[in-house]
Amino acid sequence: KSGSKPFNYEREQLQKQEQASAAVSAATPVAPAPAKTKKLSFKEQRELGGLPAAIAALEAEQAEITEALADGSLYGSDNARAVELSERSVQIDDALMAALERWEVLGKPV
């Protein structure tokens, strides 16, 4: 038969096409499954609800300390108090950072 291709040739071509499509699908990254949203526990909900007030209280205390330390007379009249306020200011900075990080963690659904 002239013009007809042998049976093996057609089967080889089909196998090559299947292998090529399999390689393309293997190379295509599969989108990760969406993460399940985690519902906050009752304790976490209460903590999240109280964080804004706690942060506001820390910021208010820090503002008072900053104002007291800005007055240079405190260092001359009561140096021990100035040192105490400076140390408390550092503690407030740490507490504020921790509270803000916690707020971010609890506020974002996972």
pLDDT tens per residue, range 25-70: 555 555 565 556 678 899 999 999 999 999 999 999 999 999 999 9
pLDDT classification of 110: cutoffs 50, 70, 90: very low
Q: 36 CB contacts (<8 Å, ≥6 apart)?
A: 110
CA 34, CA 62: separation in Å to the nearest integer?
Answer: 41
Q: What are the structural domains of the chain?
A: 42-107 (1.10.287.380)
Average pLDDT over residues 74-82: 90
Q: Read off the pTM.
A: 0.60
Q: What are phi and psi of 82, to 5 degrees?
A: -65, -40
